[in-house]
Amino acid sequence: MASADSTGSSVSGRPRSGDLLHAGLAVALMLGVWGVGGLEVTTGKLSLIEALNGSTVLLPCSYSSCIGIKNLYFSWKYENNGSDVTLCESVIPSEDVEPKVKVTHDRVEFVGSSKTNNISILLWNITFEDEGVYACFARNPKEKNRNHTARLILRVVDQMKEVDNTLTTMIVSAVGGVIGLIVIFMAIKALVVHFLHKDDEKNKECLVSSSGNDNTENGLSGAKADKKGTPKA
């Protein structure tokens, strides 16, 4: 049922369009802040790591959150044909507080630090059986248990592939040759301009000298003519 306000106008019990607009903006703002500051973990730019059999390999992982963390749970797991094997796990109480990591694999070492948001691990003396997918997981209760997982693939090889730098060498040589030709051309051009400038200066000096000589000779001839034309007393 409609009611009347102090001005006598009828007010409906349904929410006004302005209230709906404000509520929508508030929800959108909250979602925007949630999306920008949400927890994320990353294993770097490479999703595939190749390592020699018997070597030690670093499995990188880091986390970020603009909102901050509290009791952040993280773990490393080895995914093998649908069965996950936990390698290590821990909880970071707050920022800059180092976690007490529980390592459940004899060849795994935690090398991260909460001061740098780093939760990387080392895998020692790898074998071909260590090939597969490794998952870095984190969950942040401060963000209503928002969680994220980043994965990378480890490939174990007998020997590392030699990188063929033939094409790179050819390109560098070609570019160097072009640069060298440009430098030589500029040097020759500078020398030619220099000699032409000198020739111009010599020509100007010759013209000046010739003009002075002509004027001098003309003056002397006139003087002689005047002397010869003067009658003796």
pLDDT digits (tens, 9 = 90+) for 33-62: 444 568 999 999 989 999 999 999 999 999
Q: pLDDT class for 31, splitting at 50, 70, 90?
A: very low
What are the structure tokens assigned to 32, written together? Answer: 């925007």
Q: What is the pLDDT of residue 69?
A: 95
Please state whether beta strands 10-11 and 132-140 pair in parallel, antiparallel, or not at all (unpaired). Answer: unpaired
Q: pLDDT class for 100, splitting at 50, 70, 90?
A: very high
* Mean pLDDT, range 64-78, rounded to an integer: 96
What is d(CA 165, CA 152) in angstroms, rounded to the nearest whole number?
27
Q: What is the pLDDT of residue 81?
A: 81
What is d(CA 120, CA 44) in angstroms, rounded to the nearest whole number?
11
What is d(CA 136, CA 145) in angstroms, rounded to the nearest whole number?
16
CATH architecture of 37-157: Sandwich (2.60)
Domain ranges (residues) in the chain: 37-157
In this predicted structure, the answer to whether residue 152 has a pLDDT above a threshold of 60 is yes
What is d(CA 134, CA 150) in angstroms, rounded to the nearest whole number?
8
DSSP 47-68: SEEEEETT--EEE--EEE-SS-
Q: What is the pTM for the complete model shown?
A: 0.57
What is d(CA 110, CA 100) in angstroms, rounded to the nearest whole number?
10
Give the DSSP letter of residue 118: B
